[in-house]
Amino acid sequence: MSLIATLARLEAVSTGRAQPAATVRHRHLSERPLVLVPLITAGEAGAPLGALVGTDRDAPRLLVVPQPRDRDLRFAFLAELADVVLPYVDGFADVVEAAERSETDPETGKRVKVEVELCADAPQLIVPSRAGVDLVRLLGRSMRFRRTAEQDPEAPFPAPPRVPLLGRWLTHFGERARVPGSSLLLAMTDVLARHWATGQSTLEDQHLGALLAWIDPPEGRSGAKAAQEAELARDADGQLVCPPAGPATDPAFDNKLLAPAIERYDRARGALAAAEDGLEADERLGALTAAEREIRALVESRTRPTWDAVWRGLDLLRKLPEGARVEERWTRDRWSFTGHRDRVLAGEPPQPRRDDAVTAANKLAVREREQARLEAQEALDDPLVMAARRLSGEAFAGEVVDVVMAYSESRRPSPRPLVTVRTDDRPHLGERVRAYRSLGGKPQTAEFVGYEEGPEDGLLVLRVMDRMGRGKEPEEGSVPEKGDRVCFTLFEHEPRGGAKLPDPEETPWTHGGPPGEEAVPEPADPVTEEDVL
Amino acid sequence: MPPPRTREKALRHRLAELRGPEVEAKALDARALAALAANPGCRRRAILDGAGVDKAVLADALGSPSVFGQSQFAFVRGNAFEAKVKADGGTELLRLAHEKLDRGAEPPAGARVPDLTAQGPRGRTARTELALREAAEAPGAWTLLDHPMLALDVAGSPAFLEPDAVVVHPDGSWTVVEIKSFPMLDGAADPAKVGAAARQSAVYVLALEQVAARLDSAPRVRHRILLVCPKDFSNLPTASAVDVRRQRAVTARQLERLTRIEEIADALPEGTCFSPKLPAERLTEAVESVPATYAPECLSACELAFHCRDRARAQDVVTRLGRPVRAELGGLTTIGEVLAAARGEAGDPDDPAVAALRRAAALRAEALGTAAPEVAPCR
Amino acid sequence: MTAPARQAVFDPGAAAARATDAILRDTLRGAARGVVVDSPPGAGKSTLVVRAALELAEAGRPLMVVAQTNAQVDDLVLRLAEKNPDLPVGRLHSSDTDPYDKALDSLENVRTSAKAADLAGLAVVISTAAKWAHVKGVEPWEHAIVDEAYQMRSDALLAVANLFERALFVGDPGQLDPFSIVGGEQWAGLSYDPSASAVTTLLAHNPELPQHRLPVSWRLPASAAPLVSDAFYPYTPFRSGTDHGDRGLAFSVPPDGSAPDRVIDEAAESGWGLLELPARHTPRTDPEAVRAVALVVRRLLDRGGAATSERSPDPTPLTADRIAVGTAHRDQAAAIRAALTELGVPDVTVDTANRLQGREYDVTVVLHPLSGRPDATAFHLETGRLCVLASRHRHACIVVCREGVTDLLDDYPSTEPVQLGTLVKFPDGWEANHAVLAHLAEHRVAWRPEVR
């Protein structure tokens, strides 16, 4: 943790309110995000209990599995979820703009520009916490290999149509969420914690209610007190006043409220099945409906506070101005979304259970590049982030006190002006270390020449190397002038791409060789009586 | 110094006093072992676990109840899963042990499953040791010990441990079996949970090694344990061998380094008692008489964490915001000290920690525009 | 700690020669596509690589060499040219400014280029893994040597492995692991986990490959090899090539009774010295500890040290270039450099563990990574870091540390997550740190603050 971040936390403790950890918003927020607040059943591998989902904060759709162990009810839940999520996703698939992408020409092997479609906007899924992101992945994994009756008439328990498709989309969202700086799927706690420093530990920041209590405490209350209440306060019934953001539920809720309600439901269902005539059945159906309604009410009572909290978090985040380079990263999300749309349309099989060697290495390379990009862009967009980089010696800011024109020693001399900067910062500079500043959104390179006197007096001499045009004299505004405030970073602004990896069919012997002659489609999970999801 | 027997008896007596009259000692369960691993240096945890105090009950009595309730759904399912794994004389469990750990051996058929029931933890420990001895005397067959009981010296007082199972292989070696209800999905499982299971199993391995050392044949305790979990989305069992050599080495050294319970007990004021029947103030006083080392990690490992967190808040210590917060603060330990140093109200400017804090505070103020702006934002 | 009982017949030279012969036999005449060699600190890895390269070249096998850093590549080129000045060697380099050591330009048979095609047909072509990854569309080399293979990531090997038919992989499993700035947990347990080391992946897919170990450290003295071997290579032990008494360190100026002099004498006598400062939590650049390190170095030079070893019958003076200071962080190195300059000692190498990897000195002075720290992170507990710092010396290692690290370790337990299916990496950092401290405690000298 940087000392600046530590200070912010300590300030939060002493003021009783969260302190800014950013001056701009570093994540894209959609105009119309889809919020998902899921709950699961304790002890099962992610067996859903229910969810609130939707794009309208005032009218969420409540989905409930009254008996989480019942396969048909589970399937019904997933089908309903697909009915909400897929139309939302599809809504972004058809609005496209023309874009260019470089591809390798299969005949010549050369890189060529091709005109392609790029979706003009992309869907955005928001869950309350990191555990919610994991659940999205798990649901994706559980659904994408399912077979519908149409795909496989022999399937013993065919999944409802569109459920496998939902699985593929959720898998895509879950994978994209692993890319640093991406915004297709966000966990509210992560985004809030990125922008505010609370007076508690990062572990405690995982609690959405406590986090919000620090950022936006109720009138006249300290964040610390409000946070502790959000964490621990219980009503007369022993229930948490602020239920956990899920997907796990509070054991006291399970034992005191949910378990008896499910038992009543089971009894009512048993009774209905045993009904001997129509009249009795009608009556017992009424009892079953009532029992189900009771469980729905319970699930809603646990999810609605979280639902509201997520929207409150969105309100708070929207008050921050968007960082200048956020849009560029969102465009990458749009490419990612468009790419998956195309794979689905092309009838490609679902994502495999495990990446092959080449795919894994490619994904890691992308994520490392995006991490470097994110770190650079956040610093360039936000003086508070840059302050931490300056403190750690990776950047410096100061005033230009002298500019001396100089030229390169070549046949056609180019401008290489020497710029002297006075700074109080202490960058880690060595001979010929490169420094970069943002000039019209593009990085301009300078080389460290030396200290005017000694490292202590803070006078640095830099030689500007590029972005001064083609002429003998630098272009207007391309060289800092005396009196200018400048900020240079020792890190690059645009991460370099790595080398291209071999194609999967050329996987070398060190990595197990090519994956095999023909691609075998991944088998569906065997369906057994024991399944929970 | 009195002879060891007398000392042991005296300590046992002292620990019973600490628990309070007619309070049974609690065995060192999975959570206590996790708390030990998460915070071995905490004396408060050490004495309470050492004396077999039920920390959950204690936390309730202190008015800072723990949040480790268990959902009955999880409970029912966990039990059902374990029963399924061990059904039919452990057929499935032994099949997994054979497949994952000992393929060269005869496949298990008609394994021995000795009855281990006995009176009290000491009785059960003796019964377990007898069963292991018998298995060692008649090698060449598979034996399954269902819920054996083991004793291990922890900081000078015996702690009782109850692994889910121990398997004796035909070659006479022993394997610890841990049955957990988190899933293995496509062969992978939650690394934090597997790590906790590995540390827990390492303690059982150490305890078994002590038993093995007492037997003539000195059987080998395998350092790869068998972790059994539900497979994918079902509750069918699957298993994975987990190498616990690292956890075993770490735990062995931790146990060796623990401040002796006796020493902590001797430092307590006369008449200290942790009985939940005492009024809250007296209990608080008793608990506060042993120093704690609170860190936010305790919240997920120790029943007393909320109590200790309140105390840490009252003492204004920076570590309550997380252990890493201290990294660059040098000798400054309270929030008040750090802020005063950062604001230039206190602290030696020649101390690099103080100097760095002031620089950080100035840069932060500049970026937030709460001080005279020195530099325009870097756009 | 006692040294393991030596077999009366153990002849380090013969043992090392046997290992080298077997490695070269498998490399030159074996049937396997790969050969893996583990080399503990100072076991002659560079010598092996140079020898294997020369023999492969002699056998007429086109050879590419993959190293991890430009410095390693340049160093190898220089060594090859020194052994065989007539050997045509290609140095493939990047198109950055100053891509290679200028010293290479004076070598007659070394050709440098940023394009692999320019170097085609040369007996040996050497470059970094990063540069090799950009080489496409060429005929594969018959043989490759992959140096520092344990510091190379699996994905880096994936990018270059199609360039060669067979390869010799050489490296030290105990040094700093490769790392990734983003999490790669989702691939943990996969045989080709891209963030694992190249050797891990290679062996997971090709478990039948011959694996060798250089059994003797020629660098570490008899006083150091057992500790380093036990603490960092518990399941693959090695020995020192020299025996107690084969090496000696003596000073012509008698001690002045100060703590630095006493710890120097302790280290000269036993190979290890711990200069312990009073317990205190400090920032990374603890001024007192920094000054203590600088004073020890100053005294090492002032006291006219001379090292005797198996290398020559006459004592070699302990000069500034034979001493190095190791730290965990760059700012610590900078602070110590400044303190040394103040004491008028300009020429002693001061660097972080990362940069000291693969280097060798007579005496090292180490600022313990955990000294004065109020917390211990995974970075500070990483075994590779401590292993590098504790295994650079031929004669003696002096550790400067504040008291209380053992208690700190107890507050920062090892609770690492475990991924199913991954090979366990030994040892545990927490445990190794304790093991080293327990040993150092036997060579402890308490620091007394100077009276001004």
Cis peptide before A247 (omega within 30 of 0): yes
Quote the distance between the C-alpha of residue B76 and its chain's center. Answer: 23
Are residues A308 and A416 both part of a single domain? no
pLDDT of residue C430: 84
Task: Indicate the residue type of C445.
Answer: V
Does A506 reside within a domain?
no
Check if the beta carbon of residue B241 is closer than 8 Å to that of residue B159. Answer: no
More confident residue, C266 or A113: C266
> Would the pLDDT of C33 be above 80?
yes
What is the arithmetic mean of pLDDT over A306-314? 98
Tokens of A186: 């966000």
Question: pLDDT tier at B28 (50, 70, 90 boundaries)?
Answer: confident
Does A276 reside within a domain?
no
What is the arithmetic mean of pLDDT over A31-40? 97
Window from A240-254, B28-42, C94-108, C142-156 with minimum mean pLDDT: B28-42
Which residues, at least 6 apart from B9, have a Cβ–Cβ distance to it below 8 Å?
none
Are residues A70 and A140 both part of a single domain? yes
**How many CB atoms within 10 Å of residue B1?**
5
pLDDT of residue C112: 95
What is the arithmetic mean of pLDDT over A89-115? 86
Does A257 reside within a domain?
no
Question: pLDDT tier at C9 (50, 70, 90 boundaries)?
Answer: low
What is the arithmetic mean of pLDDT over A442-460? 90
3-state helix, strand, coil split of chain A in percent (to 5) is 40, 20, 40
Q: Do B254 and C410 touch (CB under 8 A)?
A: yes
Residues of A with CB below 8 A from B361's CB?
A: 7
Tokens of A502: 């071999």
Q: Do A500 and C136 touch (CB under 8 A)?
A: yes
Residues of B with CB below 8 A from C286's CB?
A: 352
- Where b means 16+ CB within 10 Å and e means fewer, B53-74 reads bbbbbbbebbebbbbebebbbb
| The 3-state secondary structure of chain B, one letter per residue | CCCHHHHHHHHHHHHHHHHCCCCCCCCCCHHHHHHHHHCCCCHHHHHHHHCCCCHHHHHHHHCCCCCCCCCHHHHHHHHHHHHHHHHHHHHHHHHHHHHHHCCCCCCCCCCECCCCCCCHHHHHHHHHHHHHHHHHHCCCCCEEEECCCEEEEECCEEEEECCCEEEECCCCCEEEEEECCCCEECCECCHHHHHHHHHHHHHHHHHHHHHHHHCCCCCCECCEEEEEEEECCCCCEEEEEEECHHHHHHHHHHHHHCCCHHHHHHHCCCCCCCCCCCCHHHHHHHHHCCCCCCCHHHHHCCCCHHHHHHHHHHCCEHHHHCHHHHHHCCCCCEHHHHHHHHCCCCCCCCCHHHHHHHHHHHHHHHHHCCCCCCCCCCC
pLDDT of residue B257: 76
Q: Residue C346 burial by CB count (10 A; 0-12/13-18/19+): exposed, middle or buried?
A: exposed
* Nearest Cβ partner for C158 among A357, A367, A428: A357
**Tally of structural domains, chain A:** 2
Rounded distance between C-alpha atoms, residue C191 and residue C419, angstroms: 13
**Angle, nearest 10°, between helix axes A357-381 and A326-345?**
150
What confidence tens digit (pLDDT) does each residue in A208-257 have? Answer: 999 999 999 999 999 999 999 999 999 999 999 999 887 999 999 999 99
* Nearest Cβ partner for C181 among A358, A371, A500: A371
Q: Residue B239 burial by CB count (10 A; 0-12/13-18/19+): exposed, middle or buried?
A: buried
ipTM for this prediction = 0.91
What is the arithmetic mean of pLDDT over B345-370? 92
Distance between A476 CA and the closest CA of chain B, angstroms = 19
Quote the mean pLDDT of chain C.
91
Check if the beta carbon of residue B146 is closer than 8 Å to that of residue B168. Answer: no
**pTM, entire model:** 0.92
Are residues A330 and A479 both part of a single domain? no
What is the arithmetic mean of pLDDT over B300-323? 91
More confident residue, B244 or C411: B244
> Would the pLDDT of B242 be above 80?
yes
> Would the pLDDT of C277 be above 80?
yes
Q: Which of B167, B171, B234, B172 is nearest to B201 (CA)?
A: B167
Which residues, at least 6 apart from A89, have a Cβ–Cβ distance to it below 8 Å?
A123, A169
Place of tokens 């059960």: B124
Residues of B with CB below 8 A from A391's CB?
A: 356, 359-360, 363
Question: pLDDT tier at C449 (50, 70, 90 boundaries)?
Answer: low
Window from A89-93, B134-138, C25-29 with minimum mean pLDDT: B134-138
Quote the mean pLDDT of chain B.
88
Rounded distance between C-alpha atoms, residue C9 and residue C20, angstroms: 19
pLDDT of residue B379: 38
Chosen for mutation from B60, B62, B73, B310 (greatest number of chain A CBs closer than 10 Å) is B73
Are residues A387 and A346 both part of a single domain? no
CB-based contact, C421 to chain B, within 8 Å = yes
Does A214 reside within a domain?
yes
Chosen for mutation from B246, B308, B328 (greatest number of chain C CBs closer than 10 Å) is B246
Are residues A179 and A309 both part of a single domain? yes
CB-based contact, A442 to chain B, within 8 Å = no
What confidence tens digit (pLDDT) does each residue in B110-135 have? Answer: 889 999 999 988 899 999 999 999 99
Are residues A403 and A469 both part of a single domain? yes
Window from A378-382, A527-531, B85-89, B132-136 with minimum mean pLDDT: A527-531
Q: Do C134 and A499 touch (CB under 8 A)?
A: yes
pLDDT of residue C431: 85
Does A407 reside within a domain?
yes
Are residues A182 and A235 both part of a single domain? yes
Rounded distance between C-alpha atoms, residue A119 and residue A333, angstroms: 10
Chains that touch C (3 or more CB pairs under 8 A): A, B
What is the arithmetic mean of pLDDT over A483-512? 92
Rounded distance between C-alpha atoms, residue C263 and residue C366, angstroms: 13
What is the arithmetic mean of pLDDT over A398-424? 93
pLDDT of residue B65: 86
Quote the mean pLDDT of chain A.
92
Are residues A109 and A219 both part of a single domain? yes
Q: Do C181 and A509 touch (CB under 8 A)?
A: no
Are residues A168 and A53 both part of a single domain? yes
Tokens of C97: 């400014």
Check if the beta carbon of residue A52 is closer than 8 Å to that of residue A307. Answer: yes
Chosen for mutation from B254, B318, B321, B359 (greatest number of chain C CBs closer than 10 Å) is B254
Question: pLDDT tier at C7 (50, 70, 90 boundaries)?
Answer: very low
Rounded distance between C-alpha atoms, residue B248 and residue B268, angstroms: 31
Instruction: Locate the chain A residue with the closest alpha carbon to C35.
Output: A510
> Would the pLDDT of C179 be above 90?
no
Are residues A329 and A464 both part of a single domain? no
Rounded distance between C-alpha atoms, residue B330 and residue B356, angstroms: 10
What is the arithmetic mean of pLDDT over B333-361? 93
Check if the beta carbon of residue A57 is closer than 8 Å to that of residue A126. Answer: no
CB-based contact, B314 to chain A, within 8 Å = no
Give the CATH number, domain containing residue A411.
2.40.30
Secondary structure (3-state) at A496: coil
Does A193 reside within a domain?
yes
Tally: H helices and E strands in chain A:
13, 15
What is the arithmetic mean of pLDDT over B135-159? 88
Which residues, at least 6 apart from C405, have a Cβ–Cβ distance to it below 8 Å?
C368, C370, C371, C373, C433, C437
What is the arithmetic mean of pLDDT over A14-40? 97
Tokens of B160: 């009782």
Q: Do A42 and B181 touch (CB under 8 A)?
A: no
Q: Which of C229, A382, A529 is nearest to B84 (CA)?
A: A529
> pLDDT exceeding 70 applies to what percent of chain A?
97
> Would the pLDDT of A76 be above 80?
yes
CB-based contact, C378 to chain B, within 8 Å = no
What is the arithmetic mean of pLDDT over C260-267? 96
Rounded distance between C-alpha atoms, residue C130 and residue C124, angstroms: 18
pLDDT of residue C428: 81
- Where b means 16+ CB within 10 Å and e means fewer, A374-408 reads bbbbbbbbbbbbbbbbbbbbbbbbbbbeebeeeee
Does A106 reside within a domain?
yes
Are residues A71 and A16 both part of a single domain? yes
Question: pLDDT tier at B3 (50, 70, 90 boundaries)?
Answer: low
Are residues A40 and A103 both part of a single domain? yes
> Would the pLDDT of B177 be above 60?
yes
What confidence tens digit (pLDDT) does each residue in C215-244 have? Answer: 999 999 999 999 999 999 988 899 999 999
What confidence tens digit (pLDDT) does each residue in B59-84 have? Answer: 999 988 887 788 899 999 899 999 99
Q: Do A361 and C198 touch (CB under 8 A)?
A: no
Secondary structure (3-state) at A113: strand
> Would the pLDDT of A158 be above 90?
no
> Would the pLDDT of C2 be above 50?
no
Between CA C351 and CA C357, with CA C355 as vertex, the angle to 5 degrees is 120
Tokens of C222: 């008899």
* Nearest Cβ partner for C415 among B38, B187, B333: B38
Secondary structure (3-state) at A191: helix
What is the arithmetic mean of pLDDT over B15-40? 80
Does A527 reside within a domain?
no
Rounded distance between C-alpha atoms, residue C251 and residue C258, angstroms: 15
> Would the pLDDT of B8 be above 80?
no
Q: Which of C17, C57, C11, C52 is nearest to C35 (CA)?
A: C52
Tokens of B42: 């905490």
Half-sphere exposure of B351 (CA within 13 A, CB side): 20
Question: pLDDT tier at A519 (50, 70, 90 boundaries)?
Answer: low
Cis peptide before B40 (omega within 30 of 0): no
What confidence tens digit (pLDDT) does each residue in C302-322 have? Answer: 999 999 998 888 899 999 999
Tokens of C299: 């005294």
More confident residue, A289 or C418: A289
Instruction: List the domain range (segments joined by +) for residue A467.
Output: 383-489
**Sign of the alpha-carbon dihedral angle for C401, C404, C410, C412:** negative
Question: pLDDT tier at A363 (50, 70, 90 boundaries)?
Answer: very high
Rounded distance between C-alpha atoms, residue A369 and residue C300, angstroms: 46
Question: pLDDT tier at B336 (50, 70, 90 boundaries)?
Answer: very high
What is the arithmetic mean of pLDDT over B351-377? 79
Which residues, at least 6 apart from B216, have a Cβ–Cβ distance to it below 8 Å?
B136
Which residues, at least 6 apart from C436, have a Cβ–Cβ distance to it below 8 Å?
C227, C231, C386, C390
What is the arithmetic mean of pLDDT over C377-381? 82
What is the arithmetic mean of pLDDT over A477-486? 95
Q: Do B245 and C377 touch (CB under 8 A)?
A: no
